[in-house]
Amino acid sequence: MRRCSVTTSRRVLEVTLVFARLGVTSFGGPIAHLGYLQREFVDRKRWLTASAFADLIALCQFLPGPASSQAVFAIGLQRAGMAGAIAATLAFLAPSAALMIALGCGLSQIQSVVGAGWIHGLKLAAVAVVAHAVWSMARRLTPDTPRATLALASSAGVLLLPGAWVQVGVIAFGGLAGWAFLKRWGADPTAPAHADLTTLSRRTGAACLLAALVLLTALPLFVHAPGAPRLLQEFDAFYRAGSLVFGGGHVVLPLLREELVPRHWLSDEQFLAGYAAAQAVPGPLFSFAGYLGAAMHEWPRSITHALLALTALFLPGYLFLVGALPFWDRLRRRADAQAALRGANAAVVGVLLGALIDPLITGTIHSALDAVIAAAAFVALLWRAPAWAIVLTFAIIGQIGASSFRGG
């Protein structure tokens, strides 16, 4: 028993050190993160076989939540149990979360010292980053006419009827449409099983799935009760956004904006500046939540609300992951489940396209020069320029441009 405890402790420490290193070096967004994980844990350390890793990524992309962060959690779980999962998650998230919380806490002070020119530069970079995300996701998730049509219809829906619940309805409609019409692209029910990804019991899995769904449905009831505290309202907003993120971390942009900006918890300008800045830090894109929680409040309450936002945004993805792991091998071979996912993913592309058009383009592109600058950033991303370099460059360009304008 003691030897087992020592071995587990060593593995937890090993997991912590590896993911702490990845947390400060993993630039490039969710897709790049998956490449880092494959090189580290399949090619170098061989903690997972290639087939087990492929199965894990398929599961994380099937579920709502941040796929790369869910993969981090699952690798830690497989290596060192639940303690390893928590250690891996915290080590991978901590660097980017600390940077984003610091930015959120100091946003007003930075603006008062250097002005807001850098924010406009970040917003132009955000237009390019989201346009590139739409382009990449559309090529992968809408490769045929039915799914492209579903994406365009979804985009029209969220543009004509803005609102957080409309986005939820559009994604749900996409899943139903996929289940009804996209089964011929479904999974092969004879696909061979791979190695188990977890030793968690089905009872544990069912309990986590139930907890995730209860929180998703019950929180709005408490929030709309008279006198609901602001902390609970924020937790509900971030939790609901985290529960509905299919297709990649960029999808959280429209979901969170519809939850936060219409309530005047922060401005569009503050929201988009933080989103662009999140592209320049390593680690998960969901660390953006730390910035939002901090930017909505004055010091020192900003720290509490930042940690609350991070917890609420990440929590549903982990609950769904732990809940699905014991059932995944059977589920992945169901053609109807895969068809529903294809439809939901196509709708997600449409939701993100709608966010690109409004508010990003309509709220950021005010001149021909703005359009040219954003287009140049988009082309640079197509040529595989690192997103963090684009963001930093355009923040500097925006500040120089604003200073020149004031000086002139």
* Alpha carbon distance 174, 207 (integer Å): 27
Cα angle for residues 109, 114, 117 (degrees, 5° grid): 115
What does the pLDDT read at residue 75?
94
User: Nearest CA to 285 among 311, 315, 248, 260?
Assistant: 248
What does the pLDDT read at residue 294?
95
pLDDT tens-digit map of 109-125: 655 544 556 777 877 88
Q: Give the pLDDT band of residue 215 (cuts 50, 70, 90).
A: very high
What does the pLDDT read at residue 348?
79
Contacts of residue 183, Cβ cutoff 8 Å, sequence gap at least 6: 335, 336, 339
Q: Is the pLDDT of residue 251 over 80?
A: no
Which structural domain, as residue segments, surrounds residue 282? 2-407
Q: Give the pLDDT band of residue 247 (cuts 50, 70, 90).
A: low
Identify the residue whose tokens are 């749900």.
172
The answer to whether residues 340 and 178 touch, using CB atoms and an 8 Å cutoff, is yes
Number of structural domains found in the chain:
1
Cα angle for residues 209, 353, 66 (degrees, 5° grid): 30
pLDDT tens-digit map of 184-197: 654 544 444 444 55
Indicate the SS3 state at residue 385.
coil
Q: Give the pLDDT band of residue 31 (cuts 50, 70, 90).
A: low
Please state the rounded mean pLDDT for residues 373-386: 88
* Alpha carbon distance 323, 206 (integer Å): 6
The answer to whether residues 104 and 111 touch, using CB atoms and an 8 Å cutoff, is no
